[in-house]
Amino acid sequence: MSKGSGASFESPLHSLPLFPNHPLCEMGELTQTGVVQHLQNGQLLRDIYLKKHQLLPSDWSPDQLYLETTGKSRTLQSGLALLYGFLPDFDWKKVYFRHQPSALFCSGSCYCPMRNHYLEKEQRRQYLLRLKNGQLERAYGEMAKVVDIPTKQLRAANPIDSLLCHFCHNLSFPCTGNGCIDMEHFKAIKTHQMEDERERREKKLYLGYALLGAHPILNQTVGRMLRAAEGRSEEVFALYSAHDVTLSPVLSALGLTEARFPRFAARLIFELWQDRDEPREHAVRVLYNGVDVTFHTSFCQDHRRRWPKPMCPLDNLVRFVRRDMLVALGSGSTNYYDACHRKGF
């Protein structure tokens, strides 16, 4: 990574460090453990897609990859670590990351008033559930006292992120002269998070947000697959290095209700397959953290009984993204712009 000073990325990515090289872990930065997780992800994908299926030749060209990341150093570094493990020959001259300003990866389709409307209602639901949880409020109060800040400030800082970093790196929670944050505090927050996920599935406000929030990135994915299926694209591998807030709405929109909050280094993969006997026939598989979840998705859960193959026709995914996702909002529209600008709601 230290030899990558000549790498050319889309602005403003070129100003970011290529690997976490600071002596102390800073807020929101990738750790060495995170680097190793992504190196292993990359090696796993190389074993499957390159060694077994020979997706990329050893003399691969930049046109065969599409790489995109948000402007955070941790997403760029995660993407680079994965590629280092994945590519047959990591060549800086061939690695070009595009910058995505939005964590939803919505490109030119980011303005969506209805999506924001659903999000506000969902945040209100979260707030009301939190008010009812006395154990959580007590935990927040005790933790705030330990680190000597107002409870309101600690709550707003979303301490689960910091606690997860400690927990997943086998570090003890912070102690001060006022006492210690302990496992009971962590349990109180995690228990509430699981209760929140359960209520979220029941109330379905988040689903409205997810369908509109995930539509642009799923529409891009479908477009990529169609171009590849029709032989109009050289791309064989696309990588979006993203966030938990990118992945959560996509999982929800796909109907993967059992998928828990994304863990560190979580990966969601869409595979495109061509039928050897019928080259014009194409199918997809969806894998989440290495588990085949194709037949748990909304667009394919009823298909298993009617199709002998262990995957789903590409047409099902196309129809889901271009029609069914928007119909599920109850807007009567199959046009993304119209669904985002619904009148009288």
- Domain boundary assignment for the chain: 133-203
- Indicate if the pLDDT at residue 305 is higher than 70: no
What is the chain's mean pLDDT, rounded? Answer: 92
CA distances from 154 to 23, 179, 187, 190 (A): 26, 16, 17, 16
- pLDDT value of residue 158: 84
- Indicate if the pLDDT at residue 143 is higher than 70: yes
pLDDT in tens, 182-211: 999 999 999 999 999 999 989 989 999 999
Nearest to 77 by CA among 35, 39, 40, 45: 35
Neighbours of 343 (CB within 10 A): 6
- Indicate if the pLDDT at residue 333 is higher than 90: no
Nearest to 237 by CA among 274, 279, 271: 271
- pLDDT value of residue 234: 92
pLDDT in tens, 213-245: 999 999 999 999 999 999 998 999 999 999 999
Per DSSP bridges, beta strands 282-288 and 268-274 are antiparallel
**Does the bond joining 101 to the residue before it have cis omega, within 30 degrees of 0?**
no
Q: Where are the alpha helices (DSSP H) in the chain?
A: 32-45, 73-86, 113-131, 134-147, 151-156, 160-168, 183-203, 205-229, 244-253, 314-319, 325-327, 336-340
Predicted model pTM: 0.93
Band of the pLDDT at 6, cuts 50, 70, 90?
low
